[in-house]
Structure 1
Amino acid sequence: MPDDARSECENRDLDDTDIGDLVADNLDSIDYDIYRILNEDGRISDTELGERVDLSRTAVRRRRKKLQEENVIKIIGVLVLQEVDLNYADVQVNLRADASRESIDELIEFLVDQELVYEVDEYLGSSDMLVRVWHESLQDIKRYVNELLQDEIVEAYEITPVTRTHKAWHSEIDGNDE
């Protein structure tokens, strides 16, 4: 990024208060703090989490469970694919203009059920969907995607291999640079 663009971007960076304001309709400040701490360390105990947000273990557990039950937060394990030498790619998918909502939902349900698909997003714009996949090699990804997207509503797709991830899931991805 050019220095002038970087400077402009830095001037617009949100501080924690601004980010908290963005989620204020759904979270109070304690719930937001719980989210941030869990995002840093999803394995933190309720006791330590409570100490960090100044609540009892029981109160923080109740809040965490409520956030999870309402699907506001999900505590998941993430395989950092580049750290285990697996290949992954983004697949931009264009659907036929006459595809019904029902057929789109069926395709999405199918894709979500696939173990080597780790993200499915619907888009507005030049593509209709983003499907993120992983496999042992780029050749395997190409073969897999070609089989995966043999659906009558898929008009076209483009596979873009990812070469390196620097930040994902609100966390910097640390790696051994060679």
Structure 2
Amino acid sequence: MAEKQTQSTSEWLENEKVRGILKEYLDETDYRIYKELNRDGRISDTELGERVGLSRTAARRRRKKLQNEGLVDVLGVLVLQEADLAYADAFVTLDPGLSQDKFDAFIAEVSTEELIYEIDEYMGEYDLLLRVWHASLSDVKRYLRTTLQAHDAVESYDAVPVTKTHKAWHKILSN
């Protein structure tokens, strides 16, 4: 198993494009720490150190530094398809006359919604992507209609149901 983990890290090191993008933020060891935490965020610092070739203290220090800089965040994620929950991407076009204050208020409002698990700002045809989940697709549809359709900040939105996620958080998902 350790050999396979080393190989996936080597793939990054050999990938010039990825290395060029990340080298400003992470060195090789930091990237290996990220990959191991991505595989198992509950890993002990002792095990982390063994997997990346550092002492427990050095692994802990580097992990904490990455976390404090906001480059790595260890968190739990509900894998929606494994829980047999419905989810969709809502592409939102905002009112073109929306002020910055009203935009900020809208973002603050939707950020508190438990059923919205990701908010991304876009350039181009859409202004925002809201990733939404619920018990069923009809619940997703009803939730989006209630949350977005009558909102002053929203000009329009398109919802696209997700039928299967194959890879997320750099993990291949089963099912």
1:114: Cα distance to partner? 0.9
Cα distance, 1:39 vs structure 2: 1.2
Alpha-carbon offset, residue 71 of structure 1 = 0.8
Instruction: Output the CA distance in 2 between the equivalents of 1:26 and 1:130.
Output: 26
Matched to 1:44, the amino acid is I
Counterpart mapping for 1:67-86 below 5 A: 67-86=66-85
Secondary structure of 2:34's aligned partner: helix
Show CA shifts across 1:88-128 (max 9, x none).
00000000111112211211111111111110000001100
Q: Secondary structure at the match of 1:99?
A: coil
The equivalences for 1:92-103 within 5 A come to 92-103=91-102
User: Secondary structure at the residue paired with 2:88?
Assistant: strand
* 2:107 alignment partner in structure 1: 108
**Aligned-residue identity in percent:** 53
Amino acid at match of 2:106: L
Could you tell me how far apart the structure 1 residues matched to 2:165 and 2:61 are?
A: 34
1:152 aligns with 2:148: no
- Which residue of 2 is the match for residue 6 of structure 1? none
> Which residue type is aligned with residue 152 of structure 1?
D
Q: Between Structure 1 and Structure 2, how many residues are aligned?
A: 162
**CA shift at 1:156, angstroms?**
0.2
Contact 1:20–1:32, Cα closer than 8 Å, also in 2:
no
Structure 2 gaps, min length 5: 1-10
* Aligned 1:17-96 pairs, distance under 5 A: 17=13, 18=16, 19-96=18-95
CA distance in structure 2 between the aligned counterparts of 1:69 and 1:114, rounded to whole angstroms: 26
RMSD after superposition:
1.4
Q: What SS does structure 2 have at the residue aligned with 1:83?
A: coil
2:7 aligned residue? none
- Confirm or deny that 1:16 pairs with 2:12: yes
Q: Residue 87 of structure 2 aligns to a residue in which SS?
A: strand
**Unaligned ranges ≥5, structure 1:** 1-14
Q: 2:82 is matched by which residue type in structure 1?
A: E
Deviation at 1:20, TM superposition (A): 2.9
> Which residue of structure 1 aligns with residue 3 of structure 2?
none
Normalising to structure 1: TM-score of the pair?
0.86
